[in-house]
Amino acid sequence: MKRGSPTRQRLTALGLLGIPLLSYPLVGLPGGTLADLPAIFLYLFGVWGGLIALAALVAERRGK
């Protein structure tokens, strides 16, 4: 049986990781503000941006 491509598997793993990170109840945790910015704003964009950065790293890695 042929294994799926490692790139695809890593990306899918990122996607699966994103589901709990970007849903309640975890999204409900960051309340209040951080340096005047709403913590939820920072959290959502931070996690989102982090996922995108990791995806870029995985997808654009040379050789695979």
Q: Contact residues for other proteins (CB under 8 A)?
A: 2, 4, 7-9, 11-12, 14-15, 18-19, 22-25, 27-31, 33, 35-38, 40-41, 44-45, 48-49, 51-53, 55-56, 59-60
Tokens matching residue 50: 């982090």
Tokens of 46: 């931070």
Q: How far is the CB of 40 from other proteins (least distance, A)?
A: 5
How far apart, in whole angstroms, are the C-alpha atoms of residue 56 and residue 21? 18
Tell the smallest beta-carbon distance from residue 18 to other proteins (Å): 5
For 37, phi and psi rounded to 5 degrees? -90, 145
